[in-house]
Structure 1
Amino acid sequence: MIAARQKFFGTENINSRTGEVRRDRVIFSWTTNATLAVSLKGRVILLDTYLNRLEVAPDPNKPDLRRTPISVDDLVQLHPEAIFLGHGHGDHADNAAYVAKWLNIPIYASPETCDVMQLDVARMAADPNTANGGAKLVPNARPVTCLPVVSRGSVPGSEIHTIKQLEPLACIVVFKHIHSGAVPTDTSFPSFPVQNIGDPREPDLYPPGTCVTPTKANGLQGCLGNPPFLTPVKGQENLTTTGFGSVAGSPGGPISLFFQFVLRDSHNFTFVWHNTTGPLKEGAGSDPGLPSPTVGAHLFSIMDALPQTNVEFGSIVSLGYATNGTRDAIMYQQHLKPQIYVPIHMTDVAAVSSSLEFKKAYVQAVLAAGGPRPEIRWLVDPNDFLKPMVYDPSDDRWDIDGRKKRVHEFCH
C-alpha cells in the first residue's frame, strides 16, 4: 500500500511508515482516460477504474517501456475505500468489479451499471485462469457491493441525490446527465475543428507489448477488452466489464452520472467530475425522455444552482467533436463557472497523444464564445500520468462569497 500510494500521490505526500496520505491536502492523480485516483484529506477513492494500454509488466530487471506504467494490482494496492463510476462503458468501468471484490469496497453507479458489475463478478469467478496456474480472479462469486445512486430508467436530471460515503468530511452530490453524442453542426456557436491526430512517434516511443486482456485488439491503442477473446497466455487475464452493449436487457454503458464533491471545511473546497460531456443544448441521447432540449436545459439549470465549482475535471472529448469541436465542454463551463478546468477523457475516443490538438481547438473556441474563461491545467498523455495535482483546501482562493447557502441547500 505504501509503495502504491507513493506511486500515485507522490512520496512527499505519504507517511512512509503508515501509508497515510497527508490530511491537509486534496490530491488528484491521472491514470489514463477519465480515471483519477483521489485523496481528500487522506480519504482515498477511485473515480473510474479503466487503464488504457493495459500491458503485461516486463521483467523487473528490464526497462519498463509501457505507455501506461500501471497495473490493475496497483489500483488494488492503493486501497481506496470506494469506487465511483461515471458510466458503465469499458473505457471507464473496466476492472471495477475486480478491484471492489478484492478490497470488499462499494461501487457507486447507476442501477443498470450495477447489474453489469454482478455479471462481471460471475464471469470472473467462473474463469479457470489456467494460463496463470488456476489462481482465482476474484475471491468468490458472491455479488459485489454496488450501490445505485439514481432510480432505474429515470430521466436525466429528474433526481438529485447525496452520497454519504465521505461524511462528515465531504458531501457528494450526484445526478444523471447525458452521455456524449454527435449532433449536427451548431452554427450559432463559434466552434473550431479538432484534428484528432496523435504523435507519429508513438510506435517508436511506445511499441505495443502483450495486452493483459487476451483479445485481438493488440494494436497501439488496443488492450480495450473488446471481443473476440483469445486463449490467454501467461500474464493475461480478462478483468474487463461487459457493459459496452446491452447486457441481459440492461442499457448499462451510456447511462451517465455527474458528481460534485464538497468538503465540509471552512472554505468548502469543491470539485466536479464528469467523465463524459453530452450535447445538452439539443438534449440528444438514449436515456428515457430523450431527445429533449427541455431536459438538457434543466440539466444546465442544475449546474447553475450547484455550489460554485473550484476545480472541474470534465471530459474535453465528445463523440460530437467532428461537428462541434469542444462546444459541449465549453457549454458545461458556462454554467458551472469553474475557477480551474482540468480536461479528461484523453487516450480513448480521442487518438492517443492528440491532447494538444484538443487544447488548440478549446482555447480558440472558449475565447470566441465569451463568458467564463477558467484557468486551464491541461493534461498531455502519457507524460502527465501519475503526476500528483495537489491543492490546499484552506487556501483563501477557494472561499467563494455566497457559496455556503448553496452548500446548505444541497448538503443539509
Structure 2
Amino acid sequence: MSSSQTVTARQRFFGEDAVDPVTGAVRADQVLVSWFGCASFAVAMGGVVFLLDAWVPRGATSGYVPTTPAEVAALAPSAIFIGHGHFDHAADAGVIARDSGAVVHGTAEHCATVRKQVPGVELSCKEMGSSASVPGERHDFTLTPEISVTAVRHIHSARTPRHEGPDASTPVRPRPCLCDIRTYPPSLGDAGHLARNLLAPEGGVLLYQFRIGDFVLTWHDSAGPLLDKAPSVVEVLRGLPASDVHIGAVQGFNQFTNGLRDPRTYVEALRPKVFVPNHHDNWLPVMTARGEAFRTPVHDELARIPEAERPEIRMLLDRDDYLAPGRLTFDLT
C-alpha cells in the first residue's frame, strides 16, 4: 500500500488540516474520530490510528456508506478492536487486517472468525478471554507507551420483560426504512458478502476504554440489559475513570420492550462529558431506520439523568455524518 493512498484516506477520514500531506502523520494533539457506519469508527488518538469494529455496511444496499474496506485498510491502522463477532461488526476485519498489518483485538472466538475470512494468511490477534468468560472480566494493557486500554466483558443487547414503575422507559419502535434500498440498490457482490457473513457468531462482547494523558474515550457496540442479567458489570464500569467521550450503542433488541433504559445504564455508569450514540443508522434497511428516528428518544431518555450529571449528546445522522472530519474532534491540550 502506497504512502500516497494512506495520505488520501487519512485526509478524507480525519480532514486535510489534520494530516501531513507528505508523511500521512495525523496531528498528535487531538483525538479525531470518524464514523463509517453502524458501530465502526476510525480513530486517531495522539497520532496513533486504529479502528473500532471493522465493517463497511453493505449487502442490503450498496454505496450507502461512502467508503470501502480497501480505503479503510489504506488508513494503515495499527490495531482493530472488535466489540463482538456478528457480521455487522467484524465482517471486514480479516481483509482490513491482512491489507494493513493491523493487530486484531478481541476474544478467542473473534480471532477465529476473523482468521476464517482470509484463509492461508497469518494474522496477528490479541486474545482477551472467550465466549465463556464471566461478565465483568477485565483486561488491561497498553497500545503504545502513551495509550492505555481496558477491555471489559459485558453482554449483548437482549429483550427482557417489560419493566414498570418509575424506572420504566418508553418503547422505541421506529418503522423500517426500506426507501434506501431503492436509492442504493445492492450489487451482487455486496449481497454475496453479506450472505457469507450473516451467521457469524457473537463470540462474547467487549467494551473498550482508551486513555491518553487525562483524556478518556470509551466505546461499545452493544448495550445489554445489565441491571437484569449482569449487574456486576455496572459496578466494574463505575470503577473506570469517567469518560470524556462515550460512544455507545443505542439500537438493540430491548428497545421494543424497554426503550433505551439499557443504553442509559451504561451512560450513568461511565459518566461521560459527551455521549455519541452509535449502531443506530440504516445499516440493514429491512430492519432498521435512519438515525433521525433515534434523536428524540435518546434525548428524552438521557433527560432522566440529573442535569448536573447529564452529558452533551453529539448525535450522528446518516448519511451526513459518515466520514465527517471535525464532527468528533477533541483537543488533548
The normalised TM-score by structure 1 is 0.73
Shift of residue 383, structure 1, vs aligned partner: 1.0
Q: How does 1:393-412 map to 2 (within 5 A)?
A: 393-394=332-333
**Per the alignment, in what secondary structure is the counterpart of residue 378 of structure 1?**
coil
1:161 touches 1:175 (CA, 8 Å); kept in 2?
A: yes
Structure 1 vs Structure 2 CA RMSD: 2.2
1:352 and 1:319, CA in 2 relative to 1: closer, same or farther beyond 3 A? closer
Pick aligned residue for 2:194 from 211, 222, 225: 225
In structure 2, the residue matched to 1:168 is 145
In structure 1, the residue matched to 2:122 is 143
1:272 touches 1:312 (CA, 8 Å); kept in 2?
A: yes
**Per the alignment, in what secondary structure is the counterpart of residue 161 of structure 1?**
strand
1:8 aligns with 2:13: yes
In structure 2, the residue matched to 1:120 is 117
In structure 2, what residue type is equivalent to 1:81? Answer: S
In structure 2, what residue type is equivalent to 1:354? Answer: R
**Per the alignment, in what secondary structure is the counterpart of residue 16 of structure 1?**
coil
Shift of residue 203, structure 1, vs aligned partner: 5.2
Matches of 1:369 and 1:323, distance apart in 2? 20
Q: How does 1:11-160 map to 2 (within 5 A)?
A: 11-53=16-58, 66-122=63-119, 141-151=120-130, 153-157=132-136, 159-160=137-138
2:58 touches 2:190 (CA, 8 Å); kept in 1?
A: no
Matches of 2:68 and 2:149, distance apart in 1? 28
Pick aligned residue for 2:330 from 385, 391, 401: 391
Matches of 2:131 and 2:60, distance apart in 1? 35
Unaligned runs of 5+ in 2: 1-5
In structure 2, what residue type is equivalent to 1:323? Answer: T
In structure 1, what residue type is equivalent to 2:322? Answer: F
In structure 1, what residue type is equivalent to 2:258? Answer: N
**Per the alignment, in what secondary structure is the counterpart of residue 91 of structure 1?**
helix
2:78 touches 2:103 (CA, 8 Å); kept in 1?
A: yes
1:30 touches 1:387 (CA, 8 Å); kept in 2?
A: yes
**Per the alignment, in what secondary structure is the counterpart of residue 213 of structure 1?**
helix
**Per the alignment, in what secondary structure is the counterpart of residue 310 of structure 2?**
coil
In structure 1, the residue matched to 2:3 is none
1:200 and 1:89, CA in 2 relative to 1: closer, same or farther beyond 3 A? closer
Matches of 2:15 and 2:189, distance apart in 1? 26
1:142 and 1:368, CA in 2 relative to 1: closer, same or farther beyond 3 A? closer
Matches of 1:202 and 1:213, distance apart in 2? 15
Q: How does 1:341-360 map to 2 (within 5 A)?
A: 341-346=275-280, 347-348=282-283, 351-360=287-296
1:336-392: per-residue Cα shift (whole Å, max 9, x none)? 111110000023468555312222112222224547321000011111000122100
In structure 1, the residue matched to 2:190 is 213
Q: How does 1:244-255 map to 2 (within 5 A)?
A: 244-245=199-200, 252-255=201-204
In structure 2, the residue matched to 1:138 is none
Matches of 1:98 and 1:344, distance apart in 2? 23
Shift of residue 207, structure 1, vs aligned partner: 3.2
2:221 touches 2:248 (CA, 8 Å); kept in 1?
A: yes
Matches of 1:80 and 1:253, distance apart in 2? 23
Shift of residue 149, structure 1, vs aligned partner: 1.6
Shift of residue 208, structure 1, vs aligned partner: 1.1
1:207 and 1:373, CA in 2 relative to 1: closer, same or farther beyond 3 A? same
1:327 aligns with 2:257: no
1:352 touches 1:381 (CA, 8 Å); kept in 2?
A: no
Matches of 1:75 and 1:9, distance apart in 2? 12
Matches of 1:370 and 1:20, distance apart in 2? 41
Matches of 2:94 and 2:184, distance apart in 1? 29
Matches of 1:369 and 1:337, distance apart in 2? 10
Matches of 2:157 and 2:61, distance apart in 1? 31
Pick aligned residue for 2:242 from 302, 308, 327: 308
Unaligned runs of 5+ in 1: 58-65, 123-140, 216-223, 228-240, 246-251, 284-295, 395-412
Identity of aligned pairs, percent? Answer: 30
1:377 aligns with 2:314: yes
State which structure, 1 or 2, has the greater radius of gyration over its C-alpha atoms.
1
The normalised TM-score by structure 2 is 0.90
Matches of 2:104 and 2:262, distance apart in 1? 28
Shift of residue 164, structure 1, vs aligned partner: 2.1
Q: How does 1:278-293 map to 2 (within 5 A)?
A: 278-283=224-229
1:191 and 1:113, CA in 2 relative to 1: closer, same or farther beyond 3 A? same
2:131 touches 2:204 (CA, 8 Å); kept in 1?
A: no
1:192 and 1:354, CA in 2 relative to 1: closer, same or farther beyond 3 A? farther
Matches of 1:33 and 1:178, distance apart in 2? 18
